[in-house]
Amino acid sequence: MIIIVNSLNAAFNIILLTAAIALATVHSLTGTLPDYNALTHWKPSLTSRLYARDGSALAEFARQRRLFLPLERIPARVRAAFLAAEDKNFYQHPGIDLQSVARALLSNVGKALSGDRLVGASTITQQVAKNFLLNSDRTFERKLKEALVALRIDQSFSKDQLLELYLNDIYLGVGAYGVAQAALSYFGKGVDELTIAEAAYLAALPKGPNNYHPLDAREKAVGRRNWVIAQMQENGFIRREEAAKAVEEPLLVKLNDDRPTTPLNDYFTEEVRRFLLAQYGGEGLYTAGFTIRTTLDPYLQATAMRALRKALVDYDEAKGYRGPVARLTDGETWQHARKRTKPLADVPEWQLALVTEVSANALTVQIDGTVRAVLMDKANRWALCRPSDGRRRCANDSFPVFSTGDVVYVEETKDGYRLRQPPEVQGALVSMEPSTGRVIAMAGGFSYAQSQFNRATQAYRQPGSSFKPFVYAAALDTGYTPTTLVLDGPLAIPDGAGRIWRPKNYDGRSGGPSTLRVGLENSRNQMTVRLAKAVGMDVVVDYGKRFGLYDQLQPYLPMSLGAGETTLMRLVSAYSVIANGGRDVRPSMIDRIQDRSGRTIFRQDSRYCPDCNVSAWSRQPEPEITDDRDYVLDPMTAYQITSMLQGVVERGTARSVKVLGVPVAGKTGTTNDEKDVWFVGYTPELVTGIFIGYDIPRHLGSGETGGGLAAPVFIDFMKVALAGRKRIEFIPPKGMAFHRIERRSGVPSEGTGSLLEAFKPGTGPCAASCGVIGEEDRAPDVSDRPEGIDEPLRARLLESTGGLY
């Protein structure tokens, strides 16, 4: 009896001691517990998503791919699946489940003896405590802290709040956080579309997503899913027949990356990403869950890339074949060569092929295990020519050019396989709405996979003659008219270093005294330099800055011919000011940004419209949008420049653009030694600019011009962009006067070839004679008598120029 009493006393003392130790441990840990109130302010890391103007998805930016859903938006069957799998007593226990703890302790005794991994008994509340406030260390202290925090947060938060946190935070594999993102990543559907079986599969994943991968561990995945279904039935969440049907359902997953796959937008998307990163930082961009509506038109973006690529490929093929992409080394297999030679991901129509046999008029190539013939017909004969010492040398058959083991690009067409090569020459295209500055298309090069350098925004190049409209705008703003005469003749200007600068026209000829209109339409360098000298280079410099073309421009006369450096985006924006009647235009690729709660935090269009959001229509007139943007240019000057640039298309250096059959204004640009070529053109609704040149500037070839290389890209793009649009004319500002004049002399005329010229109030054509700008710079040793002018015109010129002719 005494022994029993002593034993009971000893046991009681051990229990008291254990309790005291436990209490002391709990007390010591209490002061180190994290502040559970942080859950109140929890903002999950959400995915920021980019959308095109038509609502289609463009891109995602995220550290953790997650879609946050309030609990009421998560269907009951999905909640039931996770409760059945993870914590069936969630709504009954106080944060920890003592029954589950007891079962786990008994189970772990056997597992410890057998060396198996021990199991836990964490409730959903404990998992929330661990995931949000603690770490994943497998220690007794961390487990005790987890239990203590779980008890506290269960008293401070509702069960629904805790379940919402859990279902949106839990990692479920394949980069997906939360049930909403997992539904998209595994099944390609919204969480509200999940079947019982699919919901059960997602609920099987928290224990270890890789252990139940639907492809790599399919049998285990189905087994675990079916166990969850059984638990759902056992706990009354679903009926027996529903469970039986769910178990029979095959596990069909769509593990294709559900990220947006809108093609050919990489240059645009990356430009937007850089803007967002600068504006909001990495934390904002990758965790804030922004919804970003961009200005991109996906159809026209694809059109822009196709038009630019065609021009670059056509030019490059005309120069000749530069050799294979790669060659098989000794003993190397085609499979190994393919691994080290990655195709251009954004040009999927081009396939890598291995040349296995060469004959005089054909190649036999292997493509993904299949054998095809590539005929050296008319379409492929360009590849028999090679560039050599600046010249193009062509072979008569395939043997000197191709060898077995060559790796080449081919494209399947309706007429057979065509040989391809990534072009060395590069280019860019930007298209913008002048009324708003919205960039609807941007091509930054041939292929983003080939080069991520964006030539539309990052390449600073000389714009050449495409800068001239701004010199002429400065002149018109300072009192000149489109009929002002400027001498188109040789001139010699000291450069201040003992040398003489003698600018020449592109064709090497001179036209004598001519109107500003003729000078701009025919892109006369000599006239432009004389005009810039008369206006003052300080004024020209100011206009270059005012239009946003340059941050700094040196006040030297060569700069009037576009010798400074700018980007295509800046140039298109500057032309947009002219197209917009002189109002300031700020290019934008983002229409609106909304935060995770849907609140607009950025809006591009700052125009004011007080009557646009009235609650009801009471027969009031349509609201008018107040445009309070500053004028960069006199609206009348803007119209005069537009009219003169229409002449460039009608009669000047861009006559090929007339094929569009609508009112178009535009200007070509070609720099010295034909290193860069440009064309910028616009309608009242759209401004589009094109640049073509090598990344490291070099000669494009004699005779290569903006009209010959860049303008065709404009035509191909605008044919699609204008399809279905109404014809719109350029509308002059109120108060302008129109007089019919002779184009070259500027004198009033009703004769054949005369045209209506626009004049500001108080100005007009010369009735008898006008002075000629630049006569003092005439080079005395060179005749500037115009060639090919008919006698009636010569007589009018003699009268109007005081006998110069």
- Tell me the per-residue pLDDT of 599-653, one tens digit each, with 9 for 90 and over: 999 998 777 777 777 778 888 888 877 777 889 999 999 999 999 999 999 999 9
Percent of the chain with pLDDT over 70: 85
- Partners of 588 in beta bridges: 438
Task: Give the span between the Cα atoms of 360 and 397, in whole angstroms.
Answer: 5
- Mean pLDDT of the region 33-54: 78
Percent of the chain with pLDDT over 90: 63
- How high is the pLDDT of residue 136? 53
Those residues whose C-beta lies under 8 Å from the C-beta of residue 157, and which sit 6 or more positions away, are 39
Span of 370-379, 540-549, 637-646 with lowest mean pLDDT: 370-379
- How high is the pLDDT of residue 606? 72
- How high is the pLDDT of residue 792? 47
Using the predicted structure, report yes or no on whether residue 340 has a pLDDT greater than 90.
no
Between helices 635-650 and 468-477, what is the axis angle to 10°?
Answer: 140
Report the SS3 class of residue 510.
coil
pLDDT band of 232, cuts 50, 70, 90:
very high
Using the predicted structure, report yes or no on whether residue 796 has a pLDDT greater than 50.
no
Burial string for 545-570 (b: 16+ CB within 10 Å, else e) reads ebbbbbeebeeebbbbbbbbebbbbb
Torsion of CA 666, 672, 675, 676, to 10 degrees: -20
Task: Identify the residue with better confidence: 442 or 207.
Answer: 442
Q: How far apart are the first and last CA of the chain?
A: 143
Task: Identify the residue with better confidence: 3 or 59.
Answer: 59
| pTM assigned to the model | 0.84
- How high is the pLDDT of residue 786? 41
Q: How far is CA 620 from the centre of its chain?
A: 41
Using the predicted structure, report yes or no on whether residue 697 has a pLDDT greater than 80.
yes
Mean pLDDT of all residues belonging to the chain: 86
- Tell me the per-residue pLDDT of 731-783, one tens digit each, with 9 for 90 and over: 999 999 999 999 998 999 888 889 999 999 999 997 656 788 987 766 654 44
Using the predicted structure, report yes or no on whether residue 541 has a pLDDT greater than 60.
yes
Three-state secondary structure string covering 723-745: CCCCCCCCCCCCCCEEEEECCCC
Q: How many Cβ atoms sit within 10 Å of the Cβ of residue 308?
A: 27
pLDDT band of 141, cuts 50, 70, 90:
low
- Mean pLDDT of the region 501-516: 92
Task: Give the span between the Cα atoms of 711 and 717, in whole angstroms.
Answer: 10
The pair of three-digit structure tokens given for residue 674, joined into one six-digit string = 């034909």
Using the predicted structure, report yes or no on whether residue 142 has a pLDDT greater than 60.
no
pLDDT band of 255, cuts 50, 70, 90:
confident
Using the predicted structure, report yes or no on whether residue 515 has a pLDDT greater than 90.
yes
Nearest partner of 561 among 480, 491, 690, 463, judged by Cα: 463
DSSP letter (8 states) at residue 399: T
- Mean pLDDT of the region 413-418: 92
- Tell me the per-residue pLDDT of 385-414, one tens digit each, with 9 for 90 and over: 998 777 888 999 999 999 999 999 999 999
Catalytically active residues are: 86, 465
- Tell me the per-residue pLDDT of 319-329, one tens digit each, with 9 for 90 and over: 999 999 999 98
Those residues whose C-beta lies under 8 Å from the C-beta of residue 518, and which sit 6 or more positions away, are 488, 511, 524, 743, 744
Span of 155-159, 229-233, 747-751 with lowest mean pLDDT: 155-159
- Mean pLDDT of the region 443-459: 96
- How high is the pLDDT of residue 125? 80
Three-state secondary structure string covering 239-301: CHHHHHHHHHCCCCCCCCCCCCCCCCCHHHHHHHHHHHHHHHHHHHHHHECCEEEECCCHHHH
The pair of three-digit structure tokens given for residue 427, joined into one six-digit string = 């280019």
Using the predicted structure, report yes or no on whether residue 567 has a pLDDT greater than 60.
yes
- How high is the pLDDT of residue 779? 60
